[in-house]
Structure 1
Amino acid sequence: MKKSLWLFLSLVLMVIISGCSSEANSESKDKDTLTIAWLPNESGADLTEARDEIGIMIEEKTGKKVEHQTTTDYIVAIEAIANGNADMAFLGAQGYIEAHNKNEKVLPLAVPSGESGTLDDAVYYSWLAVEKDKAADYQNGDEFAIDNIQGKKFSFVSNSSTSGFKVPSTGIVDYFSKKDEFADLTAEDLLEGGSEQFFSEVLYGGSHQGSAVNLLSGKADVAAFCDTCVNNYVELVEGEENRPGAVYKVKEDAAEPFHTVAGKEFTLISVTPVLNAPFVINTETIDEDLQSELLGIMTSDELAANEKVFVPEESEFSGLFKKTGDERMVEVNDEWFNPIRELSN
């Protein structure tokens, strides 16, 4: 009798599970709106057209309506894709890892390639910058060094930012922990400032643009931010692009938030390559057929040729990515981001 009852209950449970699974798949298949979440760096009004271009292409190819969820906080975008409030998101590598840790159904779809059109050079650059007239304070002979950043006012982007926290904090710890007085230094020690801390004050810009403005407005002595997020607002005026010693100037007609620091110049004192940021999807809310459609759209020649997404060098348009060669979106898997994961080990 007990065995028969157990078998009956097991069958009922299987039916319920199967029904829930079918319902979830049906909801995904019948989904008529796709929500794309954007980090603060890509949420500005100056990038509205670029965001819309991707949305329009998805709408035309899938028949789904696209809604853009812009944010002012990294955590909002990460939580949105992890909990299913967004179906797709453009996150940094660290943001993706955090979202995947919260929900393993969040997976990468594609990343912008390097100039070669492949993953081989799919990198951007994490900068440590200072105001130009203070650059000599961070030189050791003819070379730039970060020894004198200790005790300064420092601006990060967000502790969920790859190039605005994870990479620079790891680099700072690796460099200073070789010195006896900082042998026990950890990334956590850099999160807050104070008289007994590594930095006298620690600020967070909330976006790469915000961190750069913290530097140029005098709130910070040193700031971490990346090249791709400020390229639309600055121009190289001295030195070699993405190399220590390079000097950049904020364009006179720069959009917010740089309009308050137009004409200001800064110097790079440290430059580190970083894995490109992925577009990610929540595979719980998007079925396999739609996943395949989205991958095809994102990696298409059509998107690669869209000059509002991949902007030609000579163009003044504020797009998402620069087109200097064969740049395009390319498929990527979870394992590709392991080098960023290893920074936490």
Structure 2
Amino acid sequence: MLVLVLAACAPTRRETLRIVFSPAPGIDSATAIAAYGGVIAELEEKLGVDVEMQTTTEYAAVVEALANGTADMARLGGMPYIQAHEQIGVEPLVREINPEGIAECHGIIIGRPGIWDEPFTFNQLKGKTMAFPDIGSTSGYLSNVVNMKENGIELDDLAEYGFLGSHPAVLEAVVAGSVDAGGTNDWRTNLAVSQGAGVPGEDFVILATTPPIPMNCWGVRADMDSRLKERVRNALLSLSDEAFAGCDQVKGFVPGADSDYDYVRVLMEEGLVE
């Protein structure tokens, strides 16, 4: 989770933009911060401020910071963005571009090869074991659970299901045969495959795919000064490819809008998420 905090400072000192985020499970803080080194450097140059990055594991603290005015911007997935928008009026500035060069992804259900009839039907999930990244994952959990519900399968129809903490962990569990199926998304699976995590068709198969889901947004408080919003938006949109050289999950930004997340709202309604 990324948060951009504009700290008050003396007129003779440069302002400081403090970015706080939650690294993916298994990634230590130093490694995660280093991945955004190029982004930090270019933002400092474009905005004329110092940029500091810190890590946190508490999403609630991020929302609280936005609500009490000590934070100005947050990196938010689909579900958290909508919740923050409804609670405190957060507005999206930009949407992330993933390593495949697009600002959207698809939820997918993957499975161990050799145990599914062709063509696949959702009814085959009954009595199977299944893993998800996290209950707060829009693409890994929510989209796939709604896809299952729309095709007549409830979580209670599974023999067992659980949460493994990350998308790569879901792929690893399916490849290892620890579970029969897993909910994840396409670009994270493709990234893991490119890093040697498994061979499609041999180590796992894709059973089902959802409609497109918007990538994470970087959103700001509604009461942020409009000129500052535009400065930050323009700086993010104009970052060079080199700024993302050390980051394997984000490769740029496109302009963001609240309507980008209308499909996620539908998913939340169908999945009964408040």
Query: Normalising to structure 2: TM-score of the pair?
Result: 0.76
For residue 83 of structure 1, what is the amino acid of its counterpart? Answer: A
Deviation at 1:296, TM superposition (A): 0.3
Aligned counterpart in structure 2 of residue 77 of structure 1, from 32, 54, 59: 59
2:203 aligned with 1:306: no
Is the Cα contact below 8 Å between 2:111 and 2:206 reproduced in 1?
Answer: yes
> Structure 2: 5+ residue runs without aligned partners?
1-5, 270-274
Deviation at 1:344, TM superposition (A): 2.7
Distance 2:263 2:26 in 1: 24
Aligned counterpart in structure 2 of residue 290 of structure 1, from 204, 210, 228: 228
Residue by residue over 1:150-175, the C-alpha shift from the partner in whole angstroms, topping out at 9 and shown as x without a partner, is 22221111221111111001000000
Is the Cα contact below 8 Å between 2:95 and 2:253 reproduced in 1?
Answer: yes
> Structure 1: 5+ residue runs without aligned partners?
1-24, 178-184, 191-196, 236-249, 252-257, 312-316, 323-327
Distance 1:28 1:102 in 2: 29
Distance 1:79 1:334 in 2: 23
3-state secondary structure, aligned to 1:95:
helix
Deviation at 1:286, TM superposition (A): 4.8
Matched residues, percent identical? 23
| Structure exhibiting the larger radius of gyration computed from Cα positions | 1
Deviation at 1:176, TM superposition (A): 0.9
Residues 229 and 28 of structure 1: is their aligned pair in 2 closer, same or farther, counting only changes over 3 Å? farther
Query: Normalising to structure 1: TM-score of the pair?
Result: 0.62
Residues 89 and 269 of structure 1: is their aligned pair in 2 closer, same or farther, counting only changes over 3 Å? same
Trace 1:1-345 onto structure 2 (pairs within 5 A): 27=8, 32-38=16-22, 40=24, 48-70=33-55, 76-77=58-59, 79-84=61-66, 86-104=71-89, 106-112=90-96, 122-131=103-112, 135-140=113-118, 143-176=119-152, 185=154, 190=155, 197-235=156-194, 251=196, 265-283=203-221, 286-300=224-238, 303=239, 305-307=240-242, 309=244, 319-321=248-250, 328-345=252-269
Distance 1:267 1:211 in 2: 13
Give the match for residue 3 of structure 2: none
For residue 114 of structure 2, what is the amino acid of its counterpart? Answer: A
Residue by residue over 1:294-319, the C-alpha shift from the partner in whole angstroms, topping out at 9 and shown as x without a partner, is 1001111xx2x41462x7xxxxx762
Is the Cα contact below 8 Å between 2:97 and 2:215 reproduced in 1?
Answer: no
Distance 1:71 1:211 in 2: 23
Residues 41 and 88 of structure 1: is their aligned pair in 2 closer, same or farther, counting only changes over 3 Å? farther
Residues 32 and 70 of structure 1: is their aligned pair in 2 closer, same or farther, counting only changes over 3 Å? closer
- Figure out how many residues of one structure are paired with residues of the other and give that number: 256
3-state secondary structure, aligned to 1:137:
coil
Residues 52 and 152 of structure 1: is their aligned pair in 2 closer, same or farther, counting only changes over 3 Å? same
